[in-house]
Amino acid sequence: VCDPVLGDEGKLYVPQDLVSVYQEKVVPVASMLTPNQFEVELLTGLRITSEQDGLKACNTLHSAGPRKVIITSALIEDKLLLIGSYKRTEEQPPEQFKIEIPKIPAYFTGTGDLTTALLLGWSNKYPDNLEKAAELAVSSLQALLRRTVEDYKRAGFDPASSSLEIRLIQSQDEIRNPRVTCNAMKYK
């Protein structure tokens, strides 16, 4: 699994030279790739302004190697989406889906890493059902983020005022046994 931690929200975290290293060396050997919108745009050279753009970017990445591509967060037409795509065989077209993610009005540290970890864990449990793995991962993450916001509010902090450290330990039950609150919708 490769989470190409290149940047987010239009800003690179790494030197520009590393983008080509990911494109040429890392992406081709990944079985699952979990970029955010900014990273998928860097890796494919495609601008993502619609769901169709996201699906096209997934197809471009499939042709580079990974059988599973999950754009973990894409802001499209004021909706936050996860867009998933997987190829069961090389010959078949990919099966693709989306999950609309409820926006939580706060900024969190570590959500990308946690999303990839949850996708990896649930994909191992359900290796032939990426939609289910993604539903469980997103639902876990949403429960954890809601708990984080509630904890900060109880402690007297304004969750919108700074970056929030996610409450992993306090959310173990939501991570292990999430209630599915975010459902996948297949693209035709």
Q: Which residues are catalytic?
A: 113
Buried b (16+ CB within 10 A) or exposed e, 38-51: bbbbbbbebebeeb
Q: Supply angle C-alpha 102, 108, 114, rounded to 5.
A: 80
Compute the distance between CA of residue 1 and CA of residue 4 in angstroms, rounded to an integer: 9
Compute the distance between CA of residue 151 and CA of residue 76 in angstroms, rounded to an integer: 30
Compute the distance between CA of residue 4 and CA of residue 94 in angstroms, rounded to an integer: 21
The two structure tokens encoding residue 38:
């900014």
Compute the distance between CA of residue 108 and CA of residue 187 in angstroms, rounded to an integer: 30
Compute the distance between CA of residue 72 and CA of residue 116 in angstroms, rounded to an integer: 8
